[in-house]
């Protein structure tokens, strides 16, 4: 609990300092800039907290919350805002899912436990196909690019092997 206390104090301090800056600014334009910064920090804090919740409870539990959140975003910002939130959600959850798949493929025990606690084979298969482009992109970034620069041995990735192993583990 101590580690959370220090981060909460840092966040509160950031907000207080920006509000003090807005209060003691000599001109209206400086006050406006500090208030915009205050709202930007609030938005970033909200987005970060959503991503933490998103990563902690998993995609299936998050679907209802995301639907409500998208409805609110569409009311406030229109279709463009909803598309932005949907795209960012796809990329953030896709990155988490792809990283876990690649860790599982390379034999990391915590990745195996992560899938066992969150997925049935049917739900894994659906997300596997949905996030397949993210898995490929992350594989390229983590294997091909370092291989070009360091000439290390390239580890092969077999999607069918991942599905076969997951079917054995999750069913």
Contact 115, 100 (CB under 8 A): yes
Question: How far is Cα 138 from Cα 141, in angstroms, rounded to an integer?
Answer: 5
Over 60: is that where the pLDDT of 59 sits? no
Q: What is the pLDDT of residues 123-170, one digit of tens each?
A: 889 889 999 999 999 988 888 888 888 877 777 888 889 999 998 988
pLDDT of residue 133: 92
Mean pLDDT of the chain: 83
Bigger pLDDT: 6 vs 98: 98
In order of 44, 101, 111, 119, 137, the CA distances from 58 in angstroms are: 21, 14, 14, 9, 21
Helices 121-130 & 132-139 angle (0-180, nearest 10):
70
What value does the mean pLDDT take over residues 66-89?
Answer: 80
pTM for the full model?
0.61
Rg (CA), the chain: 21
> Distance from CA of residue 158 to its chain's centroid?
25
* 3-state SS, residue 94: helix
pLDDT digits (tens, 9 = 90+) for 15-57: 899 889 888 988 998 889 988 888 888 887 887 777 676 666 6
Both tokens assigned to 47: 């987005």
Query: Residue 148: in which H helix or E strand, if any?
Result: helix 145-150
pLDDT at 11 over 70: yes
Residue 89 to residue 50: CA distance in whole angstroms: 10
76/110: higher pLDDT: 110
DSSP class of residue 153 equals P
Q: In a 3-state reduction of DSSP, which class is residue 1?
A: coil
């Amino acid at each position: 609990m101590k580690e959370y206390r220090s981060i909460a104090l840092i966040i509160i301090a950031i907000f207080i300092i920006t509000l003090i800056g807005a209060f003691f600014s000599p001109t209206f334009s400086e006050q406006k800039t500090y208030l915009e910064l205050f709202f930007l920090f609030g938005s970033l804090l909200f987005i970060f907290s959503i991503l933490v919740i998103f990563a902690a409870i998993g995609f299936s539990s998050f679907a209802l919350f995301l639907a409500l959140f998208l409805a609110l975003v569409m009311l406030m910002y229109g279709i463009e805002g909803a598309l932005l939130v949907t795209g960012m959600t796809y990329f953030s959850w896709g990155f988490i899912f792809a990283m876990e798949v690649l860790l599982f493929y390379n034999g990391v025990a915590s990745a195996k436990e992560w899938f066992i606690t969150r997925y049935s084979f049917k739900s894994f298969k659906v997300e596997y196909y949905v996030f397949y482009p993210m898995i490929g992109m992350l594989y390229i970034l983590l294997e091909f690019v370092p291989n070009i620069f360091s000439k290390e041995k390239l580890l092969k990735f077999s999607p069918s092997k991942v599905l076969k192993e997951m079917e054995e583990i999750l069913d």
